[in-house]
Amino acid sequence: MKKGVIALMLLISAILLVGCNAQSNTENAKKTERYGDEIKEKTKTSDNTIKANIDTDLPSGMLFEISEKSEDGTTLEKQTGEIGVLGGIKGTFEDVKPGNYTLTYTTLPLEEQSKKVQEKIKEADKTFDGQFIKNGVLNKVETVTLTGSDKEDKKESENVSFKDEAEQGSERYTATAGKILYNNDTTNITGQRYHFSGEIIQKLQVDGESAWLVKNDVGYVMPVFSEDFDAAVGDNVEIWGTLTGDGYQASDFKVDNIVGMTGSMRIVQLNINGKEIQ
């Protein structure tokens, strides 16, 4: 009698195990896309600086590391951070000697990522095993060459695009805590070409014009005059445009901001959720 009961229990366990495996296989079968298949290199070099930069399809908030090694085996200090809202991984290496360098972009193992990131990956319609994912982490290698040059000669010889100038503007006037992105007694930045990216957290009217409140990955919220562009709250946007020079009390918008007064800008070129609009 006891042998019969044991045999029956083993049979039930086997059936349940097969059912669980079938359900897991069915869930994975539904995920036809993969994280880690789309990488775009955007690294730039100037004089003694390497600005490591790649766009990825990985979820924002993931912890990453960027390591750099020269041909002679010299390694520089690792750059670390979190992946931006548009999938960007960035790091700056300064005081670098001319030569060839290998940049290696990696993410921390999933078990070392935040619970929010782990849930985001688990619930996504993608598997975490794209062509640039090795052993559960991002592994992207890029080779760059740094050549010494005079800044003034380089400025005169290069034809800098609007986007390049806008990105240079955002490096000069960073959208971070304590920074001023509006006119004051000593600074006039009206018309300054500028690059800003983040999530639209609110749509509203500012001085009678349609605008978006866009929050970047460090918590700076900026009103962006949207004019005829159409986007929704929650969309991720990348904007190349010009600063208006006008400042607004952050408290007037009733949202959390890392500054007391924020600048504002107008759109010239726009990317919404990875799609180029203009």
Q: What is the pLDDT of residues 154-185, one digit of tens each?
A: 444 444 588 999 999 999 999 999 899 999 98
Residue-level pLDDT at 130:
93
Q: In the predicted model, is pLDDT for residue 213 greater than 50? A: yes
Stated pTM of the model: 0.47
Question: Which of these ranges, 16-25, 206-215, 225-234, has the smallest mean pLDDT?
Answer: 16-25
Question: Up-side HSE of residue 22: CA atoms within 13 Å toward CB?
Answer: 6
Q: What are phi and psi of 182, to 5 degrees?
A: -150, 165
Q: What is the pLDDT of residues 107-145, one digit of tens each?
A: 999 999 999 999 999 999 999 999 999 999 999 999 999
Reduced to 3 states (helix: H, G, I; strand: E, B; else coil), residue 208 is coil
Q: How far apart are CA 105 and CA 21, in angstroms?
A: 34
Question: Which of these ranges, 27-41, 98-112, 191-205, has the smallest mean pLDDT?
Answer: 27-41
Residues 6+ apart with CB under 8 A from 194: 166, 169, 170, 173, 181, 240, 241, 242, 243, 265
Residues 6+ apart with CB under 8 A from 49: 92, 93, 94, 95, 96
Instruction: Decide if 265 contacts 241 (C-beta within 8 A).
Output: yes
Question: Which of these ranges, 27-36, 101-110, 129-138, has the smallest mean pLDDT?
Answer: 27-36
Residue-level pLDDT at 8:
52
Q: How far apart are CA 191 and CA 82, in angstroms?
A: 31
Of 219, 272, 211, nearest in space to 246 by CA = 211
